[in-house]
Amino acid sequence: MIENILEAFTQPFMQRALITGLFIGVLLAALGVFVLIKKMAFFGDGVAHASLAGIAIGLLAGIEPLYIAIIYAVAIALAMYWLEKRSRLSSDAVIGIFFTASLALGVLLLSFQQSYQPDLISFLFGNILSVTTTEAIMIVLISLAALISLVLLWRRLSLLVFDNVQAQLQGFKVQALSIFLYVVMAIAIVLGVKLIGVILVSALLIIPPATSKLWARSFRGLIRGSIILVLVIVFFGLLISYGLDLPSGAVIVLVGFLIFIFTLLFKSFLKTQN
Amino acid sequence: MEAAISTKNVEISYDSRPVVSGVSFEIMPGSITMIIGPNGSGKTTLLKALAGLLPFSGEINLFGKRQPGAPARLGYVPQRFSFDRSIPITVQEFLSLSSPRCFTDQCIHQKLYQDVGVAKIFTKPVSDLSGGQLQRVLIARALLEEPQILLLDEPASGIDIEGQNAIHKVLRDITREKKTTVVMISHEFNIVNHLADQVLCLNRELVCQGRPAEALTPEVIKKLYGEHRTIYAHPHD
């Protein structure tokens, strides 16, 4: 059994998948804590779906789709932020409008390509096992930069999401911090699209912190739990998908879901015992 | 002596509807000022404008510097603090977000926590706190960075009598020892008479200002709360 596991990770494509998966996973899980507190889950979903238009533009223009998708997703995230502040529309309405329009644009643009369906499927559901060395280096470097900036701004961002008014009174540049959070989230989500696809990426943003919240008694515990969970989810998700020859993105999400359900049931069981 | 807070003809509107108009007053450093008035009279709105949290026309100066953007250290306790109580965060972690000097157990603010009554609940999750305990935590947080001006919006609501007395003592102490200027909204005339150096009566515009004993006349009370309202003395207080 252990030999089989070790054998799986001797394959270069599995090593690349594991390393990129763990970096992206940790970034998404850390951002997920803010998503949980600010109730922004729909934002993650919206940006992920909207990024399909960026991917399509990249494919048609013959430029690396991931770069264009990052630029497009950041632009969409900023547009959502601006519209939320400037209009009387609720944030879910704004996200809904941008996400459906961008998704439609993405499908339309992809339809101009000959045999567009394989590309569409690959971006909708991701294919982490196909990550090249160049892509892996790029993803790891961007994730690392985002993680370092999150660590440096952690207290400010935490206060921002917990209590915007107090953050203003402390002289924090609230608008700049909010925009930073939106931009980092958009970048992380697009990187995650490569891992598990447009449709499933927000699962890594939501499931680890939501599961951790079931147990945590402190904010530190919530963050630690969220990061440990995402490492477990990505590692076992990849391993199972390799062993059973199943789509990696779907397996990663289902492993996360099963851990969430098991934690929920176990917590309820303990409650009834007490 | 330079005023801690001075306002000139302040007007605040929501959607072009004036909520506070023509308000001018001065508050001296190290004093306790209470704002009173009926519901919807603009008390919270005025307090938020003083904190630089709302746009206004006219002039608000803190120690001679124009708001918004005045560099004075401000503490603010809101009337209601709404956040998802199910998020796991301990009192210590919550406070340390506002004061990084408090990340360890050897927190430099121990005396303050004892005085305000949060020392015993320091390691508790915020979700386990009662309304009164949360209010104490918010007051402690507002005092962490030793504010020059402390703005409190009905801070004692939900706190038992013993807790209220402890908080009033802390307020008196900081005005005396640290010359903190306190501005507080209250509905309780009893507290106004006991605690305030100055009272501001607000009913969209300033109805009275001055020492409570002199400013709170029966005519002012009627102007604020309508006919058939008066203050009854409680000799046992």
Any idea which residue has 């038992």 for tokens? B160
Per-window interface: B 115-134 vs A, CB < 8 A: 125
Alpha-carbon separation of residue B193 from A230, B34, B36, B212, B228 (angstroms): 58, 10, 12, 6, 21
Pick the closest to residue A198 from A125, A253, A255, A247 (CA basis).
Answer: A125
CA B233 to chain centre: 25
CA distance B203 to B42: 7
* pLDDT at residue A274, rounded to an integer: 74
List, for residues B100-133, the tens digit of each pLDDT value.
766 555 565 667 777 777 888 888 899 888 877 8
- The encoded tokens of residue A181 equal 């959070």
List, for residues A123-149, the tens digit of each pLDDT value.
888 888 888 899 899 999 999 999 999
Selected residue with higher pLDDT from B216 and B198: B198
According to the 3-state scheme, what is the secondary structure of B28-93? Answer: CCCCEEEEECCCCCCHHHHHHHHCCCCCCEEEEEECCEECCCCCCCEEEECCCCCCCCCCCCEHHH
Q: Does A165 touch chain B (CB under 8 A)?
A: yes
Domains present along chain B, CATH in parentheses: 1-73+147-237 (3.40.50.300), 80-145 (no CATH)
Q: Does A221 touch chain B (CB under 8 A)?
A: yes
CA distance A58 to B74: 50
Q: B74 to chain A: nearest residue by CA? A: A169
B166 — pLDDT class (breaks 50, 70, 90): confident
Q: A153 to chain B: nearest residue by CA? A: B97
Q: What is the ipTM of this complex?
A: 0.83
* pLDDT at residue A89, rounded to an integer: 84
List, for residues B130-151, the tens digit of each pLDDT value.
877 888 888 888 888 788 999 9
Spatial neighbors of A207 by CB under 8 A, at least 6 apart, are A229, A233, A253, A256, A257, A259, A260
Selected residue with higher pLDDT from A274 and B217: B217
Domains present along chain A, CATH in parentheses: 2-267 (1.10.3470.10)
Max CA-CA distance within chain B? 55
Residues of B in Cβ contact (< 8 Å) with A219: 87-90, 93-94
Instruction: Confirm whether pTM is higher than 0.80.
Output: yes
Half-sphere exposure of A27 (CA within 13 A, CB side): 29
Residues of B in Cβ contact (< 8 Å) with A221: 88
List, for residues B171-183, the tens digit of each pLDDT value.
888 888 888 999 9
Q: B150 to chain A: nearest residue by CA? A: A169
DSSP A95-151: HHHHHHHHHHHHHHHHHTSTT-HHHHHHHHH--GGG--HHHHHHHHHHHHHHHHHHH
B237 — pLDDT class (breaks 50, 70, 90): very low
Residues of A in Cβ contact (< 8 Å) with B44: none
Residues of B in Cβ contact (< 8 Å) with A225: none
Q: What are phi and psi of A104, to 5 degrees?
A: -60, -45
* pLDDT at residue B105, rounded to an integer: 54
List, for residues B62-72, the tens digit of each pLDDT value.
999 998 888 88
List chain A residues with pLDDT less than 70: 1-2, 115-119
Across B82-94, average pLDDT: 86
Residues of A in Cβ contact (< 8 Å) with B74: 169
* Contact at CB, A158 and B90, closer than 8 angstroms: no
Closest-CA distance of chain A to residue B109, Å: 18
Q: What are phi and psi of B183, to 5 degrees?
A: -125, 125
Closest-CA distance of chain A to residue B100, Å: 8
Closest-CA distance of chain B to residue A124, Å: 32
